[in-house]
Structure 1
Amino acid sequence: MPTTTRPLIIAHRGNSSVAPENTLPAFESAVLAGADMIEIDVQVCEDGIGIVIHDATVDRTTDGAGPVAALRSTEVRHLDAGSWFAPAYAGTALPVFADVVDLLLRHPDTALLLELKGDWPLEPTNRLLAEVDEAGVADRVLAQGFSVAMLRTLREAAPDLRRGLLISEFDESTLTLAADLGVVALNPPATLVIERPDVLTAIHDAGLEAHVWTPNTAELWAPLVEAGVDGIITDRPDRLVGWLSAR
């Protein structure tokens, strides 16, 4: 049934159309734009520290090269993660996860959609989750991932932490897997929900949330809001805020 309830506005890698993705300027911009949640990607460095970056290598979004897993966090922190986007952001650093926790403390109304990339070992997972617990922000975190192994590790490390499974496709086995993993959300691509309304119905009938990725235009937002998605993960949270406010 169509709904008039506003979905959560989730800033994909921050306000990544106006500032370099997965950096503090993008996150602060998302907060200022009115996003409800910030979506981030975290890779684990060679020393077990979580670094906020999407790719498995630093090549695309920094002036460095090589796999994140082969670099120490101190090395990664000295890379320039802003010049590729615009000269005004030259010298912008890749955040460590602790920087994001500090941001959540500065902005108590902002929540976090946390994707741990790859399959983390238990020890660095525990270290990252300890930062969440010590800051008292666990109730504002939804951890998600495509990796079943990663979600099992998260369940072992923090069984009470809300978790979501990212999916690209949906069939009868998807809900079985979701139940087995104990997730609270199944997060599909926006196009899947638009093309197959039965997917959203099935997710909601199972008592799960659906936060869709990554529509960036009103043409796509409109049918998603009408269908009743729980959240929209977008590169244009600023525009989505304005579009929803005008409805």
Structure 2
Amino acid sequence: MKKIGDVTNTADKNGEFTNGNISTGTPPTILEGPWLTAVQREIINVLIKSGIVQNPDKDDQLATAIVKIASGAAPEIVQNIGASEKSVMSQKAVTDAISDSQVNVPDATTDIKGKVMLSTKISNADNLALAPVAIQPLQKDVLSTQRITITNNNILNNAQLELIAHRGFSRQLPQNTVLAFSMAAEAGATSLECDIQASSDGVLYVFHDLDVSALTNGTGLFREKSSTEINQLRFKELAGTIYSDMNIPTFKDVLDLVKERGLKIYAEFSDHMTENNILEYIRLITYYDAENNVTTQCFNNDKLLFLRQKNKSLELGFLRPTAADYELLIPTLQENAPAMFLMEMKSFLSDPSIAKKCRTANVGLAVWGVMNSTEAAQVMKQGCNRIVSDVSLKTK
């Protein structure tokens, strides 16, 4: 006898399911829904791991996923999820941006592990882009080297484009979900960006909105909900899909993914993070040995400086909606190194001297709000190769 779910089912003498046998008095095996759901999720998780979105019209996706995972090959980019428009950084745009850049950018070669190289293959469309060296048999070693390169404040002098997936490419994927982060990594992101909030009982989650009603089936302020309540919330965007049961990820969930993939993550504090929340944040990062993988960003300078008092090694990211006060803050960033600015795109482009001044002060710099390849090229031409975007700007 074999029990599946809450229903007792019979099996033949070999322990296999059976249609039943009247002559022997063996009833047919009855498979309960929860058991079948569990099997389906196991299969879907393999597809997610390989970056493949399930298609009911195909019957070879599991085999394809297993081959990709086993070979270490990079999965194809997932596009147009949530009716988003594909945006690709063309090879020409990247080449022009680098050649016209105000910084001294050396050529990317296969001798520089972890650098992103210009593609040398031509397709039918002008959508070739920067292809990572990490897509090679020695993927893990390269990703490790790449992470160290990315955390260097002198990245503006490198030929590498650091493409930071804002909330996991939120215009193409369901924002701030493990699904989005996993697929963004396969869609060309070299780093991830997420938002950190705490439940009323101090559990850290990855969620942006202060109120849960716009994104989930719940109502009310996030910070007023317990972890038990938050774990029961489900994303509206995923309703009716095979991912409908996916819940709001904890910060631990994202650290698991970051650690596994060797990626860097830019974690933005909610302004409601308390000192105890920040101490728990530091504890988790230290526990996961992820200090080299995490940059903590916030619009509230005081919260960043409190973090620095408690931890001397985490990189701080000072978010600036304008360029009005960045020069006045440079000494603060130097005193609290490692530290960097994350500046809004239009403000950055309004002052051609920003990249040079940050580089001279050995202060890191990234630009957010970049939404297409044209804007990315403008930012790179003006001297910044760290780009935060809601869409993937790269293809294989």
- Where in structure 2 are the equivalents of 1:28-43 lying within 5 Å? 28-43=182-197
Q: Deviations over 1:15-72 (max 9, x none)?
A: 3222210011110111111211100001111011111111112122111111111101
Query: In 2, distance between residues paired with 1:223 and 1:232?
Result: 11
Q: Is 212-221 or 84-93 further displaced after alignment?
A: 84-93
2:268 matched to which residue of 1?
A: 115
Structure 2 counterpart of 1:192 = 347
The one of 366, 372, 377 aligned to 1:211? 366
User: What SS does structure 1 have at the residue aligned with 2:237?
Assistant: coil
TM-score by length of 2: 0.57
For residues 159-214 of structure 1, give each alpha carbon's deviation from its aligned partner in whole angstroms, at most 9, with x where no partner exists.
Answer: 21111100012234232443455452011011112221122222222111111102
Preserved CA contact (<8 Å) 1:39 1:114:
yes
Distance (whole Å) between structure 2 residues aligned to residue 15 and residue 72 of structure 1: 28
Give secondary structure in 2 for the equivalent of 1:202.
helix
1:231: which partner in 2?
386
Percent identity between matched residues is 25
1:9 is aligned to 2:172: no
Match of 1:69 in 2: 223
| CA-CA distance at 1:10 after TM superposition | 0.4
Q: Distance in 1 between matches of 2:261 and 2:220?
A: 33
In the TM superposition, 1:36-55 aligns within 5 A as 36-55=190-209
Partners in 1 of 2:196 and 2:334 — Cα distance? 25
2:314 corresponds in structure 1 to 161
AA aligned to 1:163 is L
The structure whose RCO (Cα within 8 Å, separation 6+) is larger is 1
Instruction: Name the structure 2 match of 1:57.
Output: 211
State the one-letter code of the partner of 1:90: S
Structure having the larger proportion of residues in helix: 1
In 1: Cα distance, 2:246 partner to 2:387 partner: 27
Q: What per-residue deviation string (whole Å, max 9, x for no partner) do you get for residues 81-136 of structure 1?
A: 2x23664243321101110111122212x111111111422222122221111111
- Which residue number in structure 1 is paired with residue 93 of structure 2? none
Letter of the structure 2 residue corresponding to residue 223 of structure 1: Q
Q: Any idea what SS the aligned residue of 1:197 has?
A: coil
Unpaired stretches in structure 1, ≥5 consecutive residues: none
| Residue 140 of structure 1 pairs with residue 296 of structure 2 | no
1:62 touches 1:79 (CA, 8 Å); kept in 2?
yes
Q: Measure the CA separation in 2 of the matches of 1:174 and 1:168.
A: 14
Q: Paired residue for 1:20?
A: 174
> Which whole-Å CA distance do the structure 1 matches of 2:379 and 2:238 have between them?
30
Contact 2:161–2:387 (8 Å) recurs in 1: yes
RMSD of aligned alpha carbons: 1.9
Q: Secondary structure at the match of 1:163?
A: strand
Partners of 1:157 and 1:78 lie apart in 2 by: 33
Please list every run of at least 4 consecutive aligned residues from structure 1 whose deviation after the TM superposition is greater than 4 angstroms.
Answer: 180-183
Task: Note if contact 2:334-2:363 (Cα within 8 Å) is conserved in structure 1.
Answer: no
SS at match of 2:292: helix
2:259 corresponding residue in structure 1: 105
Corresponding residue for residue 375 of structure 2: 220
For this pair of structures, how many residues does the alignment match? 239
2:295 is the counterpart of 1:130: no
Gap change, CA 1:165 and 1:203, over 3 Å in 2: same
**1:19 maps to amino acid:** L
